Each structure stands twice: as structure tokens, then as C-alpha cells.
Amino acid sequence: MAEFKVGDKVRIKSKPENWPACTEFTLLGAEGTTSLWVDWPEAMDPYSEFVYVKVDKASGEGKVNEGAYMIFYEHTLEKI
């Protein structure tokens, strides 16, 4: 989580061109807040490409995930 700090506001980026549509894309464009995954961050060093996010705002089918904590690859998020 080198690019992000706990409490950062993020948006899930749009899917790259030519990617097939699937259920994971229901959260595209959703917004959230980065959170602490574990109380001992050093334990997560091998997994630094992942970011733990609380989904704050989503649309369409993604609305059912509002309030949920989910894990995303760092490169799929952008700061807002």
C-alpha cells in the first residue's frame, strides 16, 4: 500500500479496454476509504500490492457492497 495511506479517499478505476465484462465490474467507479487491514502492518509487507478499502459509495448493482470492506490491487485504484 505504498501509494496510499490509511484514510485516503479512492475511486475504483474503469476497466481497461478490451476486458470482458463480469460481475467484478459492478464496483467500477465506486468510491471508498482506505483502511488498516491488520494491526501489525509489517505482517502485510509481502502483500503490498493490495489495498483494504471500505466501499462508501457505489451505483447500480454495486450498491449492495456499500459499507463493505474489500481488497483491491493498488493499480486498480486512484486517489480522489
pLDDT digits (tens, 9 = 90+) for 11-29: 998 665 555 565 556 788 8
What is the per-residue burial (b if ≥16 Cβ within 10 Å, else e) of 46-78?
A: eeeeebbbebeebeeebeeeeeeeeebeeebbe
Question: Going residue by residue through the chain (80 aa), what tens digit of pLDDT does each one get?
Answer: 568 999 999 999 866 555 556 555 678 889 999 998 877 777 777 888 889 999 999 988 889 899 999 988 898 899 99
Confidence at residue 46, expressed as pLDDT on a 0 to 100 scale: 81
Predicted local confidence at residue 19, as pLDDT: 57
Alpha carbon separation from 36 to 7, 22, 43, 80 (Å, rounded): 9, 28, 12, 18
Rounded CA Rg of the chain: 13
